[in-house]
Amino acid sequence: MLHSNPTIVAELENFVCLKLEKGKHNEAFEELKMKSIPAIIMHDKDGKEIFRNTGMLSEEKIIAALKAAL
């Protein structure tokens, strides 16, 4: 589970989620141009980036971003 908030967990069912760790997934970090963590990056079904945030994000903003991405 990537989050404990039940609303976020329910919204995440519509997404493919990856949990990447620096040092283990360096190629993915480079490909996604991740410079810092934590980060949330969303892509549409065609692979186009539609949302990116680095740093902490409130639960309300996470929910809004997930709903906007659908």
CA 27 to chain centre: 17
The neighbouring-strand residues paired with 52 are 41
CA distance linking residue 49 with residue 28, whole number of Å: 14
Q: Is the pLDDT of residue 2 over 70?
A: no
Q: With cut-offs at 50, 70 and 90, classify the pLDDT of residue 70.
A: confident
Structure confidence by residue, pLDDT tens digits, 4-54: 899 999 999 989 888 898 899 999 999 999 988 889 999 988 999 999 999
**Every domain of the chain and the residues it spans:** 6-69
pLDDT of residue 6: 92
pLDDT of residue 59: 92
Instruction: State the pTM of this model.
Output: 0.79
Q: Are 51 and 42 in contact (CB under 8 A)?
A: yes
CA distance readout (Å), 56 to 11, 27, 44, 61? 18, 23, 22, 10
